Amino acid sequence: MSQLIAQLPALQVVVPLLGAVLVAFCRGGRTAYFVSLLVSLLMPVVSGLLLWQAIIAGPISYHLGGWQPPWGIEYHIDVFNGLVLMMVSAVGALVMPFAWRSVADEIDEDKQAWFYCMYLLCLTGLLGIAATGDAFNAFVFLEISSLSAYVLIALGRDRRALLAAFRYLIMGTIGATFYVIGIGLLYVVTGSLNIVDIGSRIAGAAAVYPHAVIAALAFITVGLGLKLALFPLHVWLPNAYTYAPSVVTAFMAATATKVAIYLLARFAFGVFGQAFDFRTLPVADIILVLSVAAMFVAAFVAISETDLKRMLAYSSVSQIGYITLGIGIANKPGLTGSIVHLVNHAMMKGALFLALGAVVYRIGSARLSDLAGIGRRMPWTMTAFTIAGFGLIGTPGTVGFISKWYLVAGAFAAGQWVLVFLIVGSSLLALVYVGRAVEVIWFRDTGPAAARATDPPPSMLAPILLLMAAVVYFGVETSLTAGIAERAAALLLGGLP
Amino acid sequence: MSTIASPAGLILLALAVPFAASAVIPLFRRRPNLREAVTLIAAAVLFALVLAIAGPVMGDARPQWAGIQVLPGVAIAFQVEPLGMLFALVASALWIVNSIYSIGYMRANDEPRQTGYYVCFALALGSTIGIAFSANLFTMFLFYEALTLSTFPLVTHHRDAEAMRSGRLYLLLLLGSSLLLFLPAIIITFMLAGTVRFEPGGILAGTGGTLLAVLLGLYVFGIGKAAVMPLHRWLPAAMVAPTPVSALLHAVAVVKAGVFCVVKIVVYVFGLETLAAAGANDWLVYVGSASLLLASCIALTRDNLKARLAYSTISQLAYIVVGAALANATSIAGSGLHIATHAVGKITLFFCAGAIYTALHKTEISDMAGIGRKMPVTMTAFLIGSLSIIGLPPFAGTWSKWVLALGALDAGYVSVVAVLMISSLLNVAYLLPIVARAFFLPLPEPSAGAAKLQEAPAPCLVALCVTAALCIVLFFQAGVIENLLAGIFASPSSTG
């Protein structure tokens, strides 16, 4: 048993990978589904154990194939990526029960096994990025998750999904290339690919090759900025989320961008933060400005969207702005807010996109005009939608409030009064776009499209309600989210306040 | 059993009753009589529980429930102190009367969606009690937002274009101001003081005067429910709601929640000494006074009865804000007293406005000539409510204005005393003509012959007589409230 425990970091990545291979040999969607379900349900157990160990006993270092770091690939799991692993695998496990009917409804029968194979590969990639402590290995997983994500998006039944996937492919590839150029530069100046090791060598390297290190920082920030949809590099995201199958949208919105943000934070503080005070670099200011721009511009666009899936996609860009904002503020409360919002936003957007998935399953549309009065027809689904929507606004009693609390505290501690009001100002825009949807859903007379809808079957409703419960539960009991996020922030910042 | 009877148990039970009622009411949606019985029982039980808590609070105890920690130093917790006690008493007592009135009004006007109406009402009352009993800023904020959200369906009850437009304004101004100003104020307070608990004497001692003044501004304008100008627009807009909503929520629970939060924050977060010593409150005295006079002037110009009453409410709320801004023990007592006296006076006026609408379908004051002959009871109650608002003995409003004026003198603001006097004159000018028109002008020609009695349904009539009577009772019993409020500055003993 302890043998197995010791292998957990590898299992976290290998199990879904093997699952994907197994599913690739499946003909029918049914077998493929059950393999994927099994793997997906197993993953939170593994990451739960890992996170628990990281909390109790400190960082776990796993040497792949027994090779010593920095030469071999190391899986380095501390509270920060432990939390990210937990979030990714939990979302993966929650969308799977939902997927059964939704995928059967939205994807051709002969492509369903293929879909699950790609889904498991994507999960592998995301978990791998979070688990690995090796910069190049992270690139490999980044590509695995991205390539499978292109396929997943292209499987959307709307033909525009193809174009959206293609656009994502182009931009994602540019992002990955930039990232790998940055890694290459770092390798040249430090001679290492292990993130911890680079961190320990970079101060020396920066003294000798300051321009190369700054260039590496620029390449990595822009490369990951593309992946995480940092404004204005977000243009691939709205269409990708809108036309992808419902399950994919929910899964990717909750996890894919978050893992890239994780990697950015890791580089910003774990690597470059060792050479410079991150806050004194222009990149911190640039991130702040772009984050604020994202929070406002994307929210304004969200207000004007008439398709709810698209509205939520823009809302995601806006919410990603909150997360990167905390990285830019770069003090303990700010970074805590950033990390906790990583998790909290996954819950909220997971619930929102799954609820919309249920709507699409019932009425085949997510256009606002088709949803008039649907609240009375799908009361549970729409209650979840509404509560998760309140989370986006940041009403107290939901997880969104907790994120906002830390971010505002961070901005205030940094002496940035303007930022304080920009953060809360953006939630006012969320109030407008969520409020508009809630008004149509609950306060209009039921339209013809919504008239025959009902709540979806339990396998779809249960994940939605669980996520809704999480939005409220973790809005009140925060030791597992904000508590861990605070430790992660302290870890990233080292001795800084 | 001992846990239920303990102070913490009573507090939680008092909170649970309205929320439980809101869960039970939909079960009886096909049996209106049972459904209304649930509301009435819940209201009565709530009032009994609040009374049970009031005993110890009068004896300088501070019943509390330690609560659940949400973030380090931030918890959902309850502690009952005199101001909150008074507010809870006022809200829960008037909920009983208002429920009786609601039954008459909603049925006589054949309103749709009555089940949802009673559900939201119970939720709103639960939120109000949560605000009243909150032990810290976070809990207060939580229930403050819950109150906004639970009253939104009541404001938009008619679901037509005008109701939805008003509802949007209501939500945007209340939720918006709270998110934009109130929330940062709380977080900044937390960062400065390291706590958000309400403590006697405040938690912000040692903070600079400018920062205090800015923070006070964030609170006063962040608490949009207090309707300090220019954040008052939501209140007239909310008048599209059925009249019982305007009566209990937009003359008592919601608006009083706003001013209550302001007073409580001034007393327990800033601390009177801290605030007055720093001079951080001066600006609010002037802004409050301006709001007080301006709203009264606007009230004069409104012909729609509910709109006039709404502006009158804005003006009367400013009394309470000014009382808080004066920041001395007397003025705070005046503010507390005014929360109670204005509540009974204004709810009477709204009940009358609703009764007139129900019986005669009139909403404009200019159409109300001679209606005193058809509705003598209603218009007599209206006269009593008006006199109480104006502040003439033997009606309750006398005392609160008296104590507020004393507080102004204590603080050395003779100008505020003048403002109070002018405002009383304005009150006379916008309230008494309505009564005079009703009693002294003849009915319009066509119906002149048929000046027979045409009062609103009995439940409405009973309710407005009760509140009118309360206006007189409170004049003679104001000492009880003053004793309760004196406890704010007594040294409290906590009991958990």
**Band of pLDDT at residue A468, cut at 50, 70 and 90:** very high
Percent of chain A past pLDDT 90, that is, above it, reads 70
Output the CA torsion sign for A4, A6, A10, A12: positive
A19: nearest Cα among A46, A52, A1, A54: A46
Nearest chain A residue to B214 by CA: give it.
A417
Give pLDDT, residue A119: 94
| Structure tokens belonging to residue A46 | 């593994």
pLDDT (mean) for A333-350: 94
Q: What is the pLDDT averaged over residues A14-28?
A: 89
How far apart are alpha carbons A406 and A325 in whole angstroms? 11
SS3 of residue A463 by DSSP: helix
Distance, CA of B208 to CA of B230 (rounded, Å): 27
Structure token digits, residue B451: 């000046």
Residue B348: pLDDT over 90: yes
What average pLDDT score do residues A176-193 get?
93
Is B71's Cβ below 8 Å from some Cβ in A? yes
Residues of A with Cβ-Cβ distance to B181 under 8 angstroms: 424
Average pLDDT over residues A22-42: 89
Share above pLDDT 70 across residues of chain B, in percent, rounded to a whole number: 96
Per-residue model confidence (pLDDT) at position B250: 80
Residues A228-253 pLDDT 10s: 999 889 889 999 999 999 999 999 99
| pLDDT tens sequence across A298-309 | 999 999 999 999
- Tokens describing residue B54: 């009031």
Nearest-Cα residue of chain A relative to residue B75: A476
Instruction: Give me A251's structure tokens.
Output: 């899964």
Q: How far apart are CA A74 and CA A65, in angstroms?
A: 9
Report pLDDT for B4: 55
For residue A444, what pLDDT band results from cuts at 50, 70 and 90? confident
Task: Quote the strand ranges of A39-104, DSSP E.
Answer: 60-63, 74-77
Domain residue ranges of chain B, discontinuous segments joined by +: 2-495
Average pLDDT over chain A reads 91
Per-residue pLDDT, averaged over A455-478, amounts to 94
Q: Which of A344, A405, A432, A473 should we substitute to test contact with B (largest number of B Cβ atoms within 10 Å)?
A: A405
3-state DSSP assignment of residue B65 = strand
Judge whether A482 is closer than 8 Å to chain B, CB to CB: yes
- What is the complex's ipTM, to 2 decimals? 0.90
The predicted structure's pLDDT at residue A118: 93
B113, pLDDT greater than 80: yes
Q: How far is B296 from chain A (nearest CA, A)?
A: 31
Q: How far is CA B465 from CA B43, B103, B359, in A?
A: 19, 16, 16
Residue A281 corresponds to which tokens in the numbers above? 């670099």
A–B: how many Cβ contacts below 8 A? 73
The number of beta carbons lying within 10 Å of the beta carbon of residue B211 is 14
Amino acid at site B385: G
Q: Pick the closest to residue B220 from B279, B273, B283 (CA basis).
A: B283
Task: Determine the pLDDT at residue A126.
Answer: 95
Residues in chain B within 8 Å Cβ distance of A396 = 138, 141-142, 145
Q: Residue range A126-135: average pLDDT?
A: 93
Cα separation, B421 vs A106, whole angstroms: 72
Q: Read off the tokens for B444.
A: 């319009």
Higher model confidence: residue A367 or residue A1? Answer: A367
Q: Which of B70, B149, B184 is nearest residue A420 as measured by Cβ atoms?
A: B184
Average pLDDT estimate for A38-42? 94
Does the pLDDT at position A69 exceed 90?
Answer: no
Contacts of A414 in chain B (CB under 8 A): none
Q: What is the mean pLDDT of chain B?
A: 89
- Give CA angle at B323 (B321, B326), nearest 5°: 110
Option in B68, B146, B179 nearest A424 (CB): B179
The first and second tokens of residue B361, run together, are 């379908």
Q: Please say if the pLDDT value at position B1 is more than 60.
A: no
Residues of B in Cβ contact (< 8 Å) with A427: 179
CB contact under 8 A, A405 and B187: yes
Question: Cα–Cα distance between B305 and B187 in angstroms, integer?
Answer: 40
CA distance A456 to chain B (A): 23
A431 touches B at CB < 8 Å:
yes
Bridge partner residues of A63 (DSSP): A74
Q: What is the DSSP letter of B375?
A: -
pLDDT at B495: 44
Between residues 73 and 112 of chain B, which touch chain A (CB distance below 8 Å)?
74, 76
pLDDT band for position B67 (cuts 50, 70, 90): confident
DSSP labels, B416-473 = HHHHHHHHHHHHHHHHHHHHHHHHHSPPPGGGTT-----PPPHHHHHHHHHHHHHHHH
Taking 50 as the threshold, does the pLDDT of residue A294 lie above it? yes
| Unique residue bearing structure tokens 């040249």 | A188
User: Is residue A389's pLDDT more than 90?
Assistant: yes
- Note the pLDDT tens digit of each residue in B260-299: 999 999 999 999 988 888 888 899 999 999 999 999 999 9
Contacts of B227 (CB under 8 A, 6+ apart): B234, B235, B255, B258, B313, B314, B317
User: In angstroms, what separates the C-alpha of A387 from chain B's closest C-alpha?
Assistant: 12
Percent of chain A with pLDDT over 70: 99
Please list every residue in chain A whose beta carbon sits closer than 8 Å to the beta carbon of residue B71: 402, 405, 478, 482
Give B382-423 pLDDT, tens digit per residue. 999 999 999 988 899 899 999 999 999 998 899 999 999 999
Q: A90-128: per-residue pLDDT in tens? A: 999 999 999 999 988 888 888 888 899 999 999 999 999
Q: A19-33, A312-326, B26-40, B448-462: which has the minimum mean pLDDT? A: B448-462
